[in-house]
A and B are shown apart, each in its own frame.
Chain A
Amino acid sequence: MLNHPDAYTISGLTAYIRHLFDADLRLQDVWVQGEISNFTAAQSGHWYFTLKDEAATLKCVMWKGDTIRLRYRPRQGDGVLVHGRVTVYEAGGQYQLYADLLQPAGRGDLNARFEALKARLEAEGLFDQALKRPLPPFPRRIGVVTSPTAAAFQDVLNVLSRRFPLAEVVLSPTLVQGDEAPPQIVAALERINRQDVDVILLVRGGGSLEDLWAFNDERVAYAVRASRIPVVTGVGHEIDFTIADFVADRRAPTPSAAAEIVTPDIEDLRYTVARSRERLLEAIQADLAERRRRLEGETRFLATLTPLRRIESARQRIDDLTARGARACQQIVALQRERLAARRRALVAADPRAIMARGYAIVERAGDGIRLRRAADAAPGDGLAVHFAQGSLRARVEDILPE
Protein backbone atom coordinates (compact mmCIF):
# COMPACT_ATOMS: atom_id res chain seq x y z
CA MET A 1 0.00 0.00 0.00
CA LEU A 2 1.33 3.34 -1.02
CA ASN A 3 1.66 6.12 1.52
CA HIS A 4 0.86 9.58 0.21
CA PRO A 5 3.04 12.10 2.03
CA ASP A 6 0.20 14.68 2.29
CA ALA A 7 -2.62 12.29 3.39
CA TYR A 8 -4.70 13.43 6.41
CA THR A 9 -5.70 11.22 9.26
CA ILE A 10 -9.48 11.11 9.76
CA SER A 11 -9.12 12.94 13.05
CA GLY A 12 -6.93 15.55 11.45
CA LEU A 13 -9.33 16.23 8.61
CA THR A 14 -12.34 16.28 10.92
CA ALA A 15 -10.59 18.68 13.25
CA TYR A 16 -9.88 20.91 10.28
CA ILE A 17 -13.53 20.87 9.21
CA ARG A 18 -14.60 21.61 12.76
CA HIS A 19 -12.25 24.55 12.82
CA LEU A 20 -13.98 25.95 9.71
CA PHE A 21 -17.36 25.79 11.55
CA ASP A 22 -16.06 27.23 14.77
CA ALA A 23 -14.36 30.13 12.99
CA ASP A 24 -17.66 31.20 11.42
CA LEU A 25 -19.23 33.66 13.86
CA ARG A 26 -22.68 33.35 12.32
CA LEU A 27 -22.77 29.62 13.14
CA GLN A 28 -21.88 30.36 16.79
CA ASP A 29 -25.05 32.39 17.41
CA VAL A 30 -27.91 31.18 15.30
CA TRP A 31 -31.71 31.04 15.47
CA VAL A 32 -33.45 28.35 13.49
CA GLN A 33 -37.10 27.39 13.11
CA GLY A 34 -38.42 23.95 12.22
CA GLU A 35 -40.45 20.95 13.18
CA ILE A 36 -39.38 18.45 15.84
CA SER A 37 -38.84 14.84 14.83
CA ASN A 38 -37.05 11.90 16.46
CA PHE A 39 -37.20 13.54 19.87
CA THR A 40 -35.37 11.56 22.56
CA ALA A 41 -35.00 12.65 26.18
CA ALA A 42 -32.07 10.58 27.44
CA GLN A 43 -31.84 9.24 31.00
CA SER A 44 -28.95 11.65 31.48
CA GLY A 45 -31.29 14.62 31.01
CA HIS A 46 -29.88 15.54 27.64
CA TRP A 47 -32.25 15.87 24.67
CA TYR A 48 -31.53 14.60 21.17
CA PHE A 49 -33.81 15.55 18.27
CA THR A 50 -33.93 16.44 14.63
CA LEU A 51 -35.30 19.67 13.20
CA LYS A 52 -36.73 19.44 9.73
CA ASP A 53 -38.62 21.28 7.10
CA GLU A 54 -39.88 20.09 3.72
CA ALA A 55 -36.43 19.81 2.22
CA ALA A 56 -33.79 19.34 4.95
CA THR A 57 -32.98 17.98 8.41
CA LEU A 58 -30.69 19.22 11.16
CA LYS A 59 -29.38 17.09 14.04
CA CYS A 60 -29.73 18.83 17.38
CA VAL A 61 -28.50 18.28 20.95
CA MET A 62 -29.62 20.10 24.07
CA TRP A 63 -27.65 19.45 27.28
CA LYS A 64 -29.30 18.82 30.62
CA GLY A 65 -28.14 22.17 32.02
CA ASP A 66 -30.31 23.87 29.41
CA THR A 67 -33.24 21.45 29.25
CA ILE A 68 -34.04 21.68 32.96
CA ARG A 69 -34.65 25.41 32.65
CA LEU A 70 -37.46 24.85 30.16
CA ARG A 71 -41.09 24.76 31.17
CA TYR A 72 -41.86 23.37 27.75
CA ARG A 73 -41.22 19.80 26.73
CA PRO A 74 -41.33 19.38 22.92
CA ARG A 75 -43.13 16.57 21.21
CA GLN A 76 -43.03 15.01 17.82
CA GLY A 77 -44.30 17.43 15.18
CA ASP A 78 -44.09 20.57 17.34
CA GLY A 79 -43.02 23.67 15.50
CA VAL A 80 -40.20 25.22 17.48
CA LEU A 81 -37.78 28.09 17.48
CA VAL A 82 -34.31 27.08 18.58
CA HIS A 83 -31.19 29.05 19.45
CA GLY A 84 -27.67 27.63 19.64
CA ARG A 85 -24.42 27.10 17.74
CA VAL A 86 -23.56 24.73 14.92
CA THR A 87 -20.39 22.70 15.08
CA VAL A 88 -19.00 19.30 14.24
CA TYR A 89 -19.47 16.17 16.33
CA GLU A 90 -16.16 14.57 15.42
CA ALA A 91 -16.83 11.00 16.60
CA GLY A 92 -20.07 10.93 14.62
CA GLY A 93 -18.66 12.65 11.58
CA GLN A 94 -21.57 15.04 11.45
CA TYR A 95 -22.37 18.63 12.13
CA GLN A 96 -25.16 19.45 14.53
CA LEU A 97 -26.90 22.25 16.37
CA TYR A 98 -26.08 22.53 20.08
CA ALA A 99 -29.26 24.18 21.32
CA ASP A 100 -29.41 26.35 24.45
CA LEU A 101 -32.90 27.83 24.00
CA LEU A 102 -36.00 26.15 22.67
CA GLN A 103 -39.53 27.47 22.59
CA PRO A 104 -42.69 26.55 20.78
CA ALA A 105 -43.04 28.60 17.64
CA GLY A 106 -46.18 30.70 17.61
CA ARG A 107 -46.83 29.99 21.28
CA GLY A 108 -45.14 33.05 22.57
CA ASP A 109 -48.59 34.33 23.41
CA LEU A 110 -49.05 31.73 26.19
CA ASN A 111 -45.81 32.80 27.83
CA ALA A 112 -46.83 36.42 27.43
CA ARG A 113 -50.22 35.74 29.04
CA PHE A 114 -48.54 33.90 31.89
CA GLU A 115 -46.16 36.76 32.58
CA ALA A 116 -48.93 39.37 32.31
CA LEU A 117 -51.23 37.56 34.74
CA LYS A 118 -48.35 36.91 37.11
CA ALA A 119 -47.43 40.60 37.11
CA ARG A 120 -51.03 41.69 37.66
CA LEU A 121 -51.72 39.26 40.54
CA GLU A 122 -48.39 40.12 42.10
CA ALA A 123 -49.34 43.81 41.93
CA GLU A 124 -52.65 42.92 43.58
CA GLY A 125 -50.69 41.41 46.43
CA LEU A 126 -51.87 37.84 45.93
CA PHE A 127 -48.34 36.48 46.30
CA ASP A 128 -47.47 38.39 49.49
CA GLN A 129 -45.34 36.34 51.82
CA ALA A 130 -47.37 37.75 54.71
CA LEU A 131 -50.43 35.92 53.37
CA LYS A 132 -48.71 32.53 53.48
CA ARG A 133 -50.13 30.49 56.32
CA PRO A 134 -48.17 27.90 58.29
CA LEU A 135 -49.01 24.27 57.67
CA PRO A 136 -50.40 22.15 60.52
CA PRO A 137 -47.75 19.80 61.92
CA PHE A 138 -50.20 16.89 62.30
CA PRO A 139 -52.99 17.11 59.74
CA ARG A 140 -55.82 14.78 60.76
CA ARG A 141 -57.68 15.28 57.49
CA ILE A 142 -55.97 16.13 54.24
CA GLY A 143 -58.05 17.49 51.42
CA VAL A 144 -56.83 16.60 47.94
CA VAL A 145 -58.07 18.50 44.91
CA THR A 146 -57.20 16.58 41.76
CA SER A 147 -58.44 14.09 39.25
CA PRO A 148 -59.19 10.73 40.94
CA THR A 149 -57.98 8.85 37.90
CA ALA A 150 -54.66 10.67 37.65
CA ALA A 151 -51.35 9.11 38.57
CA ALA A 152 -50.72 12.18 40.71
CA PHE A 153 -53.51 11.17 43.10
CA GLN A 154 -52.05 7.67 43.42
CA ASP A 155 -48.63 9.20 44.09
CA VAL A 156 -50.13 11.28 46.89
CA LEU A 157 -51.88 8.26 48.42
CA ASN A 158 -48.67 6.23 48.26
CA VAL A 159 -46.66 8.89 50.05
CA LEU A 160 -49.34 9.43 52.71
CA SER A 161 -49.73 5.68 53.33
CA ARG A 162 -46.01 5.35 53.83
CA ARG A 163 -45.37 8.52 55.81
CA PHE A 164 -48.48 9.34 57.78
CA PRO A 165 -51.25 6.73 57.61
CA LEU A 166 -52.90 8.33 60.65
CA ALA A 167 -54.50 10.87 58.35
CA GLU A 168 -57.78 10.68 56.52
CA VAL A 169 -57.76 11.77 52.89
CA VAL A 170 -60.74 13.66 51.58
CA LEU A 171 -60.71 13.77 47.81
CA SER A 172 -62.48 16.63 46.08
CA PRO A 173 -62.49 15.41 42.49
CA THR A 174 -62.06 17.71 39.51
CA LEU A 175 -60.80 17.82 35.98
CA VAL A 176 -57.25 19.15 35.90
CA GLN A 177 -56.89 19.77 32.17
CA GLY A 178 -58.84 21.54 29.48
CA ASP A 179 -61.21 24.48 29.31
CA GLU A 180 -63.59 22.94 31.86
CA ALA A 181 -60.84 22.48 34.39
CA PRO A 182 -60.56 26.00 35.92
CA PRO A 183 -64.23 26.34 37.02
CA GLN A 184 -64.16 22.73 38.25
CA ILE A 185 -61.00 23.35 40.27
CA VAL A 186 -62.63 26.45 41.77
CA ALA A 187 -65.73 24.44 42.71
CA ALA A 188 -63.64 21.62 44.12
CA LEU A 189 -61.69 24.07 46.27
CA GLU A 190 -64.92 25.60 47.58
CA ARG A 191 -66.38 22.16 48.31
CA ILE A 192 -63.32 21.02 50.25
CA ASN A 193 -63.39 24.30 52.18
CA ARG A 194 -66.74 23.27 53.62
CA GLN A 195 -65.13 20.13 55.02
CA ASP A 196 -63.24 19.77 58.28
CA VAL A 197 -59.81 19.35 56.73
CA ASP A 198 -56.54 20.80 58.03
CA VAL A 199 -54.73 21.31 54.75
CA ILE A 200 -55.45 21.08 51.02
CA LEU A 201 -53.24 19.57 48.35
CA LEU A 202 -53.88 20.95 44.86
CA VAL A 203 -51.98 18.58 42.60
CA ARG A 204 -51.54 17.47 39.04
CA GLY A 205 -48.92 15.34 37.30
CA GLY A 206 -46.46 16.56 34.68
CA GLY A 207 -47.45 17.72 31.22
CA SER A 208 -46.93 20.35 28.58
CA LEU A 209 -47.51 24.03 29.15
CA GLU A 210 -51.01 23.62 27.69
CA ASP A 211 -51.69 20.62 29.91
CA LEU A 212 -50.90 22.66 33.01
CA TRP A 213 -52.65 25.78 31.78
CA ALA A 214 -55.67 25.42 34.07
CA PHE A 215 -53.31 26.23 36.96
CA ASN A 216 -52.42 29.52 35.28
CA ASP A 217 -56.03 30.65 35.32
CA GLU A 218 -56.88 33.68 37.42
CA ARG A 219 -60.13 32.13 38.68
CA VAL A 220 -58.06 29.31 40.15
CA ALA A 221 -55.59 31.82 41.58
CA TYR A 222 -58.34 33.74 43.39
CA ALA A 223 -59.93 30.52 44.65
CA VAL A 224 -56.62 29.37 46.12
CA ARG A 225 -56.18 32.72 47.86
CA ALA A 226 -59.77 32.64 49.12
CA SER A 227 -59.36 29.22 50.71
CA ARG A 228 -59.77 29.39 54.50
CA ILE A 229 -57.60 26.28 54.70
CA PRO A 230 -53.89 26.39 53.76
CA VAL A 231 -53.24 25.19 50.21
CA VAL A 232 -50.12 23.37 49.03
CA THR A 233 -49.62 23.03 45.29
CA GLY A 234 -47.77 20.24 43.56
CA VAL A 235 -48.21 20.75 39.82
CA GLY A 236 -46.10 19.09 37.13
CA HIS A 237 -42.36 18.60 37.60
CA GLU A 238 -39.65 20.49 39.47
CA ILE A 239 -39.19 22.94 36.61
CA ASP A 240 -42.86 23.81 36.20
CA PHE A 241 -44.06 26.96 37.90
CA THR A 242 -47.71 27.90 37.66
CA ILE A 243 -49.66 30.91 38.88
CA ALA A 244 -51.34 28.64 41.43
CA ASP A 245 -47.87 27.88 42.83
CA PHE A 246 -47.23 31.56 43.47
CA VAL A 247 -50.59 32.07 45.19
CA ALA A 248 -50.48 28.92 47.30
CA ASP A 249 -49.39 28.96 50.92
CA ARG A 250 -46.66 26.55 49.91
CA ARG A 251 -45.43 25.26 46.57
CA ALA A 252 -44.08 21.73 46.23
CA PRO A 253 -42.21 20.64 43.10
CA THR A 254 -44.36 17.54 42.52
CA PRO A 255 -47.55 15.92 43.86
CA SER A 256 -45.48 13.44 45.89
CA ALA A 257 -43.44 16.27 47.36
CA ALA A 258 -46.64 18.11 48.30
CA ALA A 259 -47.79 15.04 50.24
CA GLU A 260 -44.41 14.91 51.98
CA ILE A 261 -44.45 18.59 52.89
CA VAL A 262 -47.76 18.37 54.74
CA THR A 263 -46.99 15.27 56.77
CA PRO A 264 -44.54 14.24 59.47
CA ASP A 265 -42.68 11.02 58.85
CA ILE A 266 -44.06 8.10 60.84
CA GLU A 267 -40.52 6.91 61.57
CA ASP A 268 -39.77 10.25 63.22
CA LEU A 269 -42.98 9.88 65.21
CA ARG A 270 -42.05 6.38 66.31
CA TYR A 271 -38.76 7.77 67.53
CA THR A 272 -40.51 10.66 69.29
CA VAL A 273 -42.90 8.31 71.08
CA ALA A 274 -40.11 5.92 72.08
CA ARG A 275 -38.03 8.84 73.34
CA SER A 276 -41.02 10.20 75.26
CA ARG A 277 -41.40 6.85 76.97
CA GLU A 278 -37.77 6.94 78.05
CA ARG A 279 -38.05 10.53 79.27
CA LEU A 280 -41.21 9.69 81.19
CA LEU A 281 -39.43 6.85 82.95
CA GLU A 282 -36.35 8.97 83.63
CA ALA A 283 -38.52 11.77 85.02
CA ILE A 284 -40.36 9.54 87.50
CA GLN A 285 -37.12 7.83 88.55
CA ALA A 286 -35.43 11.18 89.11
CA ASP A 287 -38.49 12.37 91.03
CA LEU A 288 -38.47 9.31 93.30
CA ALA A 289 -34.70 9.48 93.78
CA GLU A 290 -35.03 13.11 94.85
CA ARG A 291 -37.73 12.20 97.35
CA ARG A 292 -35.59 9.38 98.72
CA ARG A 293 -32.63 11.71 99.05
CA ARG A 294 -34.71 14.28 100.91
CA LEU A 295 -36.13 11.60 103.19
CA GLU A 296 -32.65 10.39 104.09
CA GLY A 297 -31.59 13.94 104.86
CA GLU A 298 -34.56 14.49 107.16
CA THR A 299 -33.98 11.17 108.87
CA ARG A 300 -30.41 12.12 109.64
CA PHE A 301 -31.54 15.46 111.02
CA LEU A 302 -34.21 13.79 113.13
CA ALA A 303 -31.61 11.47 114.65
CA THR A 304 -29.79 14.47 116.09
CA LEU A 305 -32.93 15.49 117.99
CA THR A 306 -33.56 12.15 119.76
CA PRO A 307 -33.34 11.82 123.69
CA LEU A 308 -31.30 8.69 123.11
CA ARG A 309 -28.32 10.96 122.65
CA ARG A 310 -28.82 12.48 126.13
CA ILE A 311 -29.29 9.08 127.70
CA GLU A 312 -26.09 7.93 126.12
CA SER A 313 -24.19 10.92 127.39
CA ALA A 314 -25.63 10.42 130.94
CA ARG A 315 -24.61 6.81 130.78
CA GLN A 316 -21.10 7.82 129.86
CA ARG A 317 -21.02 10.24 132.77
CA ILE A 318 -22.00 7.42 135.11
CA ASP A 319 -19.20 5.32 133.72
CA ASP A 320 -16.76 8.16 134.30
CA LEU A 321 -17.88 8.68 137.87
CA THR A 322 -17.77 4.98 138.58
CA ALA A 323 -14.22 4.78 137.39
CA ARG A 324 -13.22 7.84 139.42
CA GLY A 325 -14.89 6.33 142.54
CA ALA A 326 -13.05 3.09 142.10
CA ARG A 327 -9.74 4.88 141.79
CA ALA A 328 -10.45 6.89 144.96
CA CYS A 329 -11.29 3.74 146.97
CA GLN A 330 -8.11 2.07 145.87
CA GLN A 331 -6.13 5.07 147.08
CA ILE A 332 -7.82 4.99 150.46
CA VAL A 333 -7.13 1.30 150.91
CA ALA A 334 -3.50 1.78 149.97
CA LEU A 335 -3.15 4.60 152.48
CA GLN A 336 -4.65 2.55 155.29
CA ARG A 337 -2.47 -0.36 154.43
CA GLU A 338 0.55 1.90 154.61
CA ARG A 339 -0.51 3.23 158.04
CA LEU A 340 -1.09 -0.28 159.34
CA ALA A 341 2.40 -1.27 158.30
CA ALA A 342 3.82 1.77 160.13
CA ARG A 343 1.96 0.82 163.32
CA ARG A 344 3.16 -2.64 162.99
CA ARG A 345 6.69 -1.44 162.72
CA ALA A 346 6.15 0.76 165.85
CA LEU A 347 4.65 -2.19 167.71
CA VAL A 348 7.61 -4.36 166.88
CA ALA A 349 9.86 -1.58 168.11
CA ALA A 350 7.96 -1.51 171.42
CA ASP A 351 8.27 -5.28 172.07
CA PRO A 352 9.99 -5.75 175.66
CA ARG A 353 11.96 -8.64 174.30
CA ALA A 354 13.48 -6.33 171.75
CA ILE A 355 14.37 -3.91 174.61
CA MET A 356 15.71 -6.76 176.80
CA ALA A 357 17.76 -7.87 173.79
CA ARG A 358 19.56 -4.53 174.12
CA GLY A 359 20.67 -5.44 177.67
CA TYR A 360 17.66 -4.79 179.96
CA ALA A 361 16.11 -7.36 182.30
CA ILE A 362 12.81 -7.81 184.11
CA VAL A 363 13.00 -8.39 187.85
CA GLU A 364 10.27 -10.21 189.75
CA ARG A 365 10.00 -10.87 193.44
CA ALA A 366 10.08 -14.55 194.11
CA GLY A 367 7.14 -15.79 196.07
CA ASP A 368 4.41 -13.43 194.73
CA GLY A 369 5.88 -12.87 191.25
CA ILE A 370 5.34 -9.13 191.43
CA ARG A 371 7.36 -7.23 188.84
CA LEU A 372 9.59 -4.79 190.64
CA ARG A 373 9.56 -1.21 189.31
CA ARG A 374 11.45 0.50 192.18
CA ALA A 375 14.31 -0.71 194.34
CA ALA A 376 12.25 0.12 197.41
CA ASP A 377 9.72 -2.51 196.44
CA ALA A 378 12.22 -5.15 197.56
CA ALA A 379 13.81 -5.81 200.95
CA PRO A 380 17.18 -7.37 201.74
CA GLY A 381 16.98 -11.04 201.73
CA ASP A 382 14.16 -11.21 199.23
CA GLY A 383 14.49 -13.82 196.51
CA LEU A 384 14.34 -12.45 193.05
CA ALA A 385 13.78 -13.87 189.54
CA VAL A 386 15.69 -11.99 186.89
CA HIS A 387 14.53 -12.57 183.35
CA PHE A 388 16.82 -11.74 180.37
CA ALA A 389 15.98 -11.83 176.73
CA GLN A 390 17.57 -15.21 176.81
CA GLY A 391 17.21 -17.21 179.96
CA SER A 392 16.53 -16.31 183.66
CA LEU A 393 18.37 -16.58 186.97
CA ARG A 394 17.61 -16.54 190.71
CA ALA A 395 19.18 -13.94 192.95
CA ARG A 396 18.91 -12.66 196.53
CA VAL A 397 18.76 -8.98 197.61
CA GLU A 398 21.75 -8.15 199.74
CA ASP A 399 21.20 -4.50 200.42
CA ILE A 400 18.97 -1.61 199.36
CA LEU A 401 20.96 1.34 198.20
CA PRO A 402 19.73 4.82 198.91
CA GLU A 403 18.65 6.84 195.91
Chain B
Amino acid sequence: MTQQPLPDSLTFEEALARLEQIITRLEEGSLTLEDSVALFEQGQRLAAFCQDALDSAELRVRELTELD
Protein backbone atom coordinates (compact mmCIF):
# COMPACT_ATOMS: atom_id res chain seq x y z
CA MET B 1 0.00 0.00 0.00
CA THR B 2 1.44 3.34 -0.97
CA GLN B 3 1.41 6.37 1.29
CA GLN B 4 -1.66 8.39 0.49
CA PRO B 5 -1.28 12.07 1.27
CA LEU B 6 -4.05 13.63 3.34
CA PRO B 7 -6.44 15.61 1.13
CA ASP B 8 -6.18 19.39 1.34
CA SER B 9 -9.86 19.73 2.09
CA LEU B 10 -9.68 17.46 5.14
CA THR B 11 -11.47 18.94 8.15
CA PHE B 12 -10.66 18.30 11.77
CA GLU B 13 -13.91 16.40 12.23
CA GLU B 14 -13.27 14.14 9.22
CA ALA B 15 -9.71 13.51 10.33
CA LEU B 16 -10.85 12.55 13.82
CA ALA B 17 -13.59 10.28 12.41
CA ARG B 18 -11.13 8.53 10.07
CA LEU B 19 -8.64 8.15 12.89
CA GLU B 20 -11.36 6.50 14.95
CA GLN B 21 -12.20 4.12 12.07
CA ILE B 22 -8.56 3.19 11.63
CA ILE B 23 -8.16 2.44 15.33
CA THR B 24 -11.30 0.30 15.27
CA ARG B 25 -10.07 -1.68 12.25
CA LEU B 26 -6.67 -2.18 13.83
CA GLU B 27 -8.27 -3.29 17.08
CA GLU B 28 -10.47 -5.78 15.22
CA GLY B 29 -7.40 -7.33 13.59
CA SER B 30 -7.62 -9.81 10.66
CA LEU B 31 -5.70 -7.52 8.31
CA THR B 32 -2.58 -8.33 6.38
CA LEU B 33 0.62 -7.09 7.98
CA GLU B 34 1.10 -4.62 5.13
CA ASP B 35 -2.40 -3.22 5.61
CA SER B 36 -1.93 -2.98 9.37
CA VAL B 37 1.29 -1.04 9.04
CA ALA B 38 -0.12 1.21 6.32
CA LEU B 39 -3.21 1.96 8.42
CA PHE B 40 -1.04 2.69 11.43
CA GLU B 41 1.05 5.15 9.46
CA GLN B 42 -2.05 6.81 8.08
CA GLY B 43 -3.46 7.00 11.61
CA GLN B 44 -0.30 8.69 12.79
CA ARG B 45 -0.56 11.28 10.05
CA LEU B 46 -4.21 11.92 10.91
CA ALA B 47 -3.41 12.27 14.62
CA ALA B 48 -0.65 14.75 13.80
CA PHE B 49 -3.05 16.62 11.53
CA CYS B 50 -5.62 16.86 14.35
CA GLN B 51 -2.97 17.99 16.81
CA ASP B 52 -1.77 20.67 14.40
CA ALA B 53 -5.33 21.81 13.77
CA LEU B 54 -5.89 22.26 17.49
CA ASP B 55 -2.56 23.95 18.11
CA SER B 56 -2.78 26.41 15.25
CA ALA B 57 -6.52 27.16 15.30
CA GLU B 58 -7.54 30.80 15.36
CA LEU B 59 -11.15 31.92 15.20
CA ARG B 60 -11.99 33.53 11.85
CA VAL B 61 -14.83 36.02 11.60
CA ARG B 62 -16.63 37.08 8.44
CA GLU B 63 -19.45 39.59 8.28
CA LEU B 64 -22.19 39.31 5.70
CA THR B 65 -23.16 42.43 3.79
CA GLU B 66 -26.41 43.43 2.13
CA LEU B 67 -25.19 41.68 -1.04
CA ASP B 68 -24.87 38.23 0.52
Contacts and interface: CB of A to CB of B under 8 A. Distances in A.
Interface residues of B, number: 32
Nearest to B60: A168
A265 B40 CA distance: 27
Contacts of A160: 59
Contact of A137 (B13, B27, B57, B68): B13
A269 B20 CA distance: 13
Given A280-B43, A284-B37, A169 B60 contact: yes
Contacts of B6: none
Contacts of B68: 172, 191, 194-195
Contacts of B12: 138, 166, 269
Interface string B51-68: 101100111111110001
B64 A192 contact: yes
A270 B51 CA distance: 7
Nearest to B25: A283
A173 interface: yes
B54 A140 contact: no
Given A165-B58, A166-B12, A280 B19 contact: yes
Interface in A69-128: none
Given A280-B26, A280-B43, A280-B44, A266 B60 contact: no
Interface string A148-190: 1000000001001100111111111100000000000000000
A269 B54 contact: yes
A287 interface: yes
Interface in A214-253: none
Contacts of A194: 68
A280 B40 contact: yes
Contacts of B22: 280
Contact of A266 (B11, B19, B29, B54): B54
B47 A273 contact: yes
Given A191-B68, A266-B57, A280-B22, A171 B16 contact: no
Contacts of A192: 64
Interface in B15-44: 16, 19-20, 22-23, 26-27, 29, 31, 33, 36-37, 40, 43-44
B62 A287 contact: no
A144 to B, nearest CB: 9
Nearest to B65: A173
Interface string A291-310: 10000000000000000000
A277 interface: yes
A287 B31 contact: yes
A279 interface: yes
Interface centre among B37, B58, B62 (most CB of A within 10 A): B62
A331 interface: no
A171 B47 contact: no
Given A273-B54, A276-B47, A140 B11 contact: yes
Contacts of B58: 165
Interface centre among A194, A270, A272, A284 (most CB of B within 10 A): A284
B42 to A, nearest CB: 10
A276 B54 contact: no
B59 A138 contact: no
B40 to A, nearest CB: 4
B68 to A, nearest CB: 6
The 8 A-B residue pairs with the shortest CB-CB distance, nearest first, are A283-B26, A138-B13, A165-B57, A284-B40, A280-B43, A165-B59, A171-B63, A168-B60
27 contacts: A138-B11, A140-B11, A165-B59, A166-B57, A167-B59, A168-B59, A169-B59, A169-B60, A170-B63, A170-B64, A191-B64, A195-B68, A269-B12, A269-B54, A273-B16, A273-B50, A276-B47, A279-B27, A280-B23, A280-B26, A280-B40, A283-B23, A283-B40, A286-B27, A287-B29, A288-B36, A290-B29
Given A169-B59, A273-B47, 13 more contacts: A157-B61, A165-B58, A168-B61, A168-B62, A169-B60, A272-B16, A280-B44, A280-B47, A283-B23, A284-B26, A286-B29, A287-B31, A290-B29
